[in-house]
Amino acid sequence: MDISVEVYVAKTLKLLEYEREAEIQETSSLQEHVSAKELQQRGVCLLKLRVSSQRTGLYGRTVLTLEPYWPGNELPAHNFTPGDIAGLSLSKGECGSDTIASGIVTRVSQSAVSVAFEESYDGLNIDDSAQYKLVKLANDVTYRRLKKTLQKLATYRSGCSQHLIDVLFGQTDLGPAYSVARDGDTAQELVFFNPHLDASQREAVGFALRQREVGVIHGPPGTGKTTTIVEVIRQAVKQKLKILACAPSNIAVDNLLERLAGQKVKVIRLGHPARLLASIQRYSLDAILAGSDESKLVADVRKDMDKTLSSLKKARDGGARQRLREEMRALRKELRQREDAATRDLLKRADVVMATLTGASDEGPLKQLEEDHFDIVIVDECSQAMEAACWQAMLHAPRCILAGDHNQLPPTIISNKAAKEGLAVTLMERVLKLYKDKVMRMLTVQYRMNDRIMQWSSDQLYDGKLVAHESVAKHLLRDLTGVSETEDTAIPLLLIDTAGCHQRELQLPDEVSKGNEGEADLVTAHVDRLISVGVSPQDIAVIAPYNLQVELLRLRLSQKYPKLEIKSVDGFQGREKEAVVISFVRSNEKGEVGFLALERRINVAITRARRHLAVICDSETVSHNKFLKSLVEYLSEHGDVRSAEQYIQEGVLSTDCQRPERLRNLESSQRNKQTSSRSKSDKTTKKNHKNAQQTPQDMRQTTNMTARAALTEEQPSGREVELQQSLVEFHSDSSRTEHAFPASLNSHDRYLVHEIAERLGLVHLSRGEGIERHIVVSKPHKMPCLASSVNNHDASSVKSVSLTSVTCLTPSSDDSNDSGDENVAPPRAERATNAKKKPKSAKKPKNKALDREMDDDFDAVIAAAMKENVSCAFTKCPASTATLGQNCPFCARRFCLRHHIPEVHGCGDKAKARARALISRDGVLYPGSGVPSKKPNARTRAHLQQKLEKKLTGMEEQRRHKKKEK
């Protein structure tokens, strides 16, 4: 494990390069292959902007405010947020090219975006009458800073951290510990500020303060790591030490700061104020600066600068411009000096400076301080940070205290190659390997889990040292107010075993993600049960290690219980819930467990649960992994075990054999492909069938008649499953060509039918008038295109055209070709009038047909919209979503076609994280169809949206006319 600084730096620089490449590929491949207009629809580009004002911001940066080119308009929906890096360029030309400058977004409102540029205003050379566009760029600041830090580390000579570096790279041994407390000249007992600390916490605090170079506080789940660090900081402040406290993420820093606030400690938080929690903004450097004595002077200089700037813009004569420029330069210098002085003064007076690891790098405000200003650097959540990131903070002091848990999730590394070669190895792991217990104290009392839930994790990963605090050791769901006692709420551990019950994972050609319908049904059944006896949905977490399974679970549960959190393991790190339901997904003949095997993931998933943990898995498959086997054994021994068989008998769940024929065919054909031998596969299918029929006598079963009855009365997965079933059946029944739904379907059902038909590749039409209007679903006549579909039907009966059939209409090059800027859609108000002016003949015949159909369609849409009056969940968006709208799978709210894209309304990060899984999803979720999902593409959507707007504008005008006539 010994590694020299030079070797470490060289290797890490290389790995960072891989990582950077992977990230760029992920984020900006989007921008290279997609037109500017489409980028705007995805919310990462804003077209046709003008510079409406500029002023001078902190450190003399130029802050430009950009508004829609045509006054009075709002910006289209977008996902620029403060702190983003954005590139400014002239609206003409390809995206990404001719970028004038890139800056940081500082403010976002409905009608404007402000961006701070390092360049001076005259340096930017802004043309007030020109059209600009703004594109979100991959953030490269992080990498630049990491590289700089590594270079500094490699060339570090005799600074305050030299000894620490030597120790952490094994060049020098640990120095002798300090005496217990350094308050006076005599050693004395620590007097703790927090009287409630347990023995392990006290020991950790004292130990960390005594360590000369490095102390590690190992905080397993729920053991009060933050509580302990707060005490460490207060003690260190009492010793008059200057502290730099950092964590990898803003949220982790804020979490610590919130706990420290109000403790008579002078704290300053570095970082973009816009990125901080509201409750914490007053501790930000900017806020404190603004209130400082210097701030008035600074404000005066700023005013002068803005004045000079506006005269500069007006000045035509060359000599005058030159003079004004020089004046600006002098003012900028003065401003910078004053602000630096103010910053330095404030930072020096603070007891604790807090920042993210990136924020603590030398490129931030810390460069104002003397090199040896800080005595201790504290890195919280150290096990979630790349080592290189930690060094950004650690090169500021001779001592460090690292806190975290290396048995929970490591830092996220995008590049597999980089991760494999060691980029994910954290400083904490490395130091513990190097010095073992000599530098570490573990917190051993945990304040979260029932002791049964805790014990397995404790035995496996924490040497059996964890003890549940008496306040939680025996707590159960039934102890919560409003929760009744049932067989589910009276037990801390439950295993629902699908072994031998024919609940195979989906056999998919690509290996991107995994799903298991049977397990999803079982999770749904169990969640239903818990909620039906009073457990509140927000107290339950549903966790699956695969994104596809997360999707399957959301389809079943999100609409029913919007407050229920369903996420992958990563989404729950650092959090807790009263009840946790985990689906392990894997169930196959080969016993493949895949990346499930990551022990830390399992550990995090299990240890989120306070009172109740339910694991749903195929014990046979997952037992091929040693770690999981021990979990299954532990659950069998200490918890309740139920066989999925029981749920099959109750009708909650069907076996693979009972699922629609097509689905089975598809699965077995996939299986055949994989096992190559056909006869073998047939045999196994038969064998499994037999297994499913016999009741496994060896399974311990706990049954409770009342709970069971309650369960069967309830629809397990709601209306959607019902409708889906009828459509899947129709789809696989070759004797039927049409399936009519009754006119009584409500709008939500209609929406579901529409969605499911779309996924199955079925054509969906509305027939009849008034109350007789109903949906008819038919199979496509081998014609994927609307043009032919329209001809195939009696035009008068086709009133509504499903979005599905419209999709393929989008020609690869039509008159709305968007590569050039001329065709960029004008702002909303103009769009409607333009559409009217445009002669119809300009369109291709294909589009004419589409137009006519859509006109009809939109009559229906608007009629429905008027009736239902359900509007888009996007703030202030008045659009109706009764018929044309989509539910966001991430937040479960319903949006209009303009706002339903997750990136547009604020679910972008979640969407991005699962982008890969989504790609595989389409062909995968409904294997019975064999047809990939055809979502209307962006342009078709835009077209529809435009139509809707045109209609609405027209109607508004009509109404106005009517009013006038009266």
Ligand X SMILES: Nc1ncnc2c1ncn2[C@@H]1O[C@H](COP(=O)(O)OP(=O)(O)OP(=O)(O)O)[C@@H](O)[C@H]1O
List residues binding ligand X (CB under 6 A). 196-198, 201, 219, 221-227, 447, 574
Shortest Å distance, C-beta 352 to ligand X = 17
Q: How far is CA 929 from CA 665, 717, 750, 757, in A?
A: 11, 20, 20, 10
Strands 243-247 and 352-356: parallel
574's contact among Zn ion, ligand X, none, with CB below 5 to 8 A by partner kind, is ligand X
Pick from 301, 346, 879, 882: which binds Zn ion (CB under 5 A)?
879
- Binding span for Zn ion by CB under 5 A among 30-38, 563-571, 902-910, 953-961: 902-910
Provide CB contacts within 8 A for 364, sequence distance 6+. 270, 355
Work out how close the CB of 604 gets to ligand X at its nearest, in angstroms, rounded to a whole number: 10
Partner touching 877 among ligand X, Zn ion, none, CB below 5 to 8 Å by kind: Zn ion
Nearer to ligand X, 447 or 627 (CB): 447
* Cα–Cα dist 515/553, whole Å: 9
What are the Cα distances from residue 864, in Å, to 439, 772, 879? Answer: 68, 14, 12
Residue 201's binding partner, choosing from Zn ion, ligand X, none, with beta-carbon cut-off 5 to 8 A by kind? ligand X
Q: In angstroms, what is the minimal distance from the CB of 445 to ligand X? A: 7
List 105, 890, 914, 933, residue binding Zn ion (CB under 5 A) = 890
- Choose among ligand X, Zn ion, none what residue 899 binds, the Cβ cut-off being 5 to 8 Å by kind: Zn ion
Position among 165, 613, 888, 918 found at the interface with Zn ion (CB under 5 A): 888
Q: How far is the CB of 570 from ligand X (least distance, A)?
A: 14
Distance CA 425, CA 386 (A): 7
* Gap between the Cα atoms of 485 and 473, Å rounded: 18
Give the nearer residue to Zn ion in terms of CB position, either 135 or 904: 904
Query: Least distance from C-beta 449 to ligand X, angstroms?
Result: 10
Q: Least Å distance between CB 457 and ligand X?
A: 12
Q: Which of 235, 273, 246, 242 is nearest to 349 (CA)?
A: 242
- Interhelix angle 599-606/626-638, rounded to 10 degrees, is 30
Among 787, 891, 913, 952, binds Zn ion (CB under 5 A): 891
Of the candidates 300, 307, 302, 308, the one whose C-alpha atom is nearest the C-alpha of residue 326 is 308
**382, interface contact from Zn ion, ligand X, none, CB < 5-8 Å by kind:** none
Question: Least distance to Zn ion from the beta carbon of 873, Å?
Answer: 8
Closer to Zn ion by CB, 798 or 888: give it: 888
**Closer CB to Zn ion, residue 762 or residue 901?**
901
Strands in 800-801's sheet, in edge-to-edge order, are: 738-740, 774-778, 763-767, 800-801
> Is residue 884 close enough to count as binding Zn ion by CB under 5 A?
no
Contacts of 19 (CB under 8 A, 6+ apart): 413, 414, 415, 418, 423
Q: Please, what is the Cα angle at 486 between 482 and 490, to 5 degrees?
A: 90
Q: Do 615 and 496 contact (CB within 8 A), yes or no? A: yes
Rounded to a whole number of angstroms, the minimum distance from the CB of residue 879 to Zn ion is: 4
Q: How far is the CB of 908 from Zn ion (least distance, A)?
A: 9
What's the closest the beta carbon of residue 737 comes to ligand X, in angstroms? 57
Rounded-to-integer distance, Cα 928 and Cα 925, Å: 9
Q: Which residues in 904-923 contact Zn ion (CB under 5 A)?
A: 907
Instruction: Select the span of 334-342, 553-561, 733-741, 889-897 touching Zn ion (CB under 5 A).
Output: 889-897
Please choose which of Zn ion, ligand X, none residue 891 contacts, taking the beta carbon within 5 to 8 angstroms, the exact cut-off set by kind: Zn ion
CB 301 within 8 A of CB 331: yes
The smaller minimum CB distance to ligand X, of residues 225 and 947, is found at: 225
From 452, 899, 914, 947, residue interacting with Zn ion (rule: CB under 5 A): 899
877 is a site residue for Zn ion (CB under 5 A): yes
**Judged by CB under 5 A, how many residues of this single chain contact Zn ion?**
11
Which partner from the list Zn ion, ligand X, none does 223 bind, CB cut-off 5 to 8 Å by kind?
Answer: ligand X
Scan for tokens 């300009």, then name that residue: 842
Position among 36, 160, 454, 896 found at the interface with Zn ion (CB under 5 A): 896
Burial zone of 737 (CB within 10 Å; 0-12 exposed, 13-18 middle, 19+ buried): exposed
222 binds, among Zn ion, ligand X, none (CB under 5 to 8 A by kind): ligand X
Shortest approach of Zn ion to residue 744 CB, angstroms? Answer: 29
942 binding Zn ion? (CB under 5 A)? no
Question: At CA 443, angle to CA 480 and CA 598, rounded to 5?
Answer: 80
Residues 760 and 929: beta-carbon distance below 8 Å: yes
Tracing tokens 């929760």 back to the chain, one arrives at: 483
Residue 468 C-beta: closest distance to ligand X, Å: 11
CA distance 713 to 568: 30
Closer by beta carbon to Zn ion, 80 or else 874: 874
The binder of 447, among ligand X, Zn ion, none, by C-beta within 5 to 8 A per type, is ligand X
Contact between 461 and 599 under an 8 Å Cβ cutoff? The reply is: yes
* Closest approach of ligand X to the CB of residue 772, in Å: 58
Residue 192 interface partner, choices Zn ion, ligand X, none, CB cut-off 5-8 Å depending on type: none
The option from ligand X, Zn ion, none interacting with 872 (CB < 5 to 8 A, set by class) reads Zn ion
Contact 174, 435 (CB under 8 A): yes
Handedness of CA 521, 523, 528, 533 (dihedral sign): positive
Asked if residues 796 and 765 have their Cβ atoms less than 8 Å apart, the reply is no
Which partner, ligand X, Zn ion, none, binds residue 876 by CB below 5 to 8 Å per kind? Answer: none
* Contacting positions for Zn ion (CB under 5 A): 872, 874, 877, 879, 888, 890-891, 896, 898-899, 907
